[in-house]
Structure 1
């Protein structure tokens, strides 16, 4: 397992590198900001990018957005303290696969990296209940109907910031079929758009 490590604080990077190596995870390179990260990713591939959100210059979310615009789908796990109420939403929309609180336990860090490397999307940091409470959607009315396995899978991909075309490719479906699924999901949740659907699905623990 090879990861890229991006954080503007050298001491934080050193601590994370030591921790990751003890967990059996190799740090391919370190970056001190988003642009440094993007430049290094052009030269070597990694299994997971582990990046702080707040960095000077190009921050973690901006770097993630640029990475996705180039078509690079390397899983990105963002480190955060969650003191900004819009952060989770912006990062998810940019295409983050997961979020991890900076004070997470080593075993949680290891599990998160392994899971996103395996294609999973972590819809909330390891401290699930506090984060769910903080980002609780105002409408907690139950859905109009139950959700099938395919609908849940699509909701998880929506939470990861995937477009209909990308979801279709991932699930081997026609793009029109995915569009129909999304419309059905919005209707069942009683929401107007994808973002509200994801937040409500998290609040109701559908995903």
Structure 2
């Protein structure tokens, strides 16, 4: 039997923290400590190891994204899953640029939250699908950014699943392909978009209207 996932929980609302704690503990996840703001979160992370940080984005003082910046600046690679009540693509972009592994709306189903924590703990990236308009507005098209080659229908389908946070194994299952085949497709996609990062590949594909 594997050890329970250990997480840090940060939210400025005590009732929200209490609700999340009760929910996650019912799903076998251990809350190592709670924090009411980013400053307290950073202080406790300096002395206590966790598998995942689950943090609200909007908090007084040091918010979730600023705390994430500071965490990465001091060399702490602990996976961070950010929660928000706002379906805001701008927040997604800021969270991604800061180094977040996951971004999820607070109204997600309990099973989705549990699954998201497990996935970022395994090193996966989880981007909840958001509207693409603000992404395109932020990253304007430049001819030099155009893909090196056209994308096939299958590559576009795989890109859409990547945008939904699916792993190679899940994409393989959804598309009835071998996992190794999906891995090869992803490598080709990253090459065409001239990036080594899946998350940035998705953002670039949205910008260029590939998906």
> TM over 0.5, yes or no?
yes
Determine if the alignment matches structure 1 residue 37 to structure 2 residue 41: yes
SS at match of 2:124: coil
Question: What's the offset of the Cα at 1:200?
Answer: 3.0
Provide the TM-score with structure 1 as the length reference. Answer: 0.68
The verdict on how the C-alpha distance between 1:47 and 1:197 changes in structure 2, with shifts beyond 3 A counting, is closer
**What SS does the corresponding residue of 1:77 show, helix, strand or coil?**
strand
The CA deviation at 1:87 is 1.1
Structure 2 residue 126 is the aligned partner of structure 1 residue 137: no
Distance in 2, Cα, partners of 1:111 & 1:195:
19
Q: Which segments of 5 or more consecutive residues in structure 2 lack a partner in the other structure?
A: 166-186
Q: CA deviation at 1:28?
A: 0.3
Identify the match of residue 31 of structure 2 among 24, 27, 34: 27
Provide the residue aligned with 1:63 in structure 2: 67
Q: For residues 106 and 189 of structure 1, do their structure 2 counterparts lie closer, same or farther at Cα, with a shift above 3 Å needed? A: same
After superposition, give the CA deviation of every residue in 1:138-183 in whole Å (9 maximum; x if it has no partner). 66xx942459x9xx9xxx8xx9xxxxxxxxxxxxxxxxxxxxx9xx
Confirm or deny: 8 A CA contact 1:135 1:199 kept in the other structure.
no
Kindly tell me the number of residue pairs found equivalent between the two proteins. Answer: 164
Q: Write the distance in 2 (CA, Å) between the matches of 1:85 and 1:46.
A: 28
Indicate the residue corresponding to 1:73 in structure 2: 77
Runs of 4 or more consecutive aligned structure 1 residues displaced over 6 Å after TM superposition: none
Give the C-alpha shift of residue 22 in structure 1. 0.6
- C-alpha contact (below 8 Å) 1:6/1:33 kept by paired residues: yes
Q: Distance in 1 between the 2:15 and 2:86 partners?
A: 21
Note closer, same or farther for the CA distance 1:27–1:12 as it changes in structure 2 (3 Å cut): same
Unaligned ranges ≥5, structure 1: 160-180
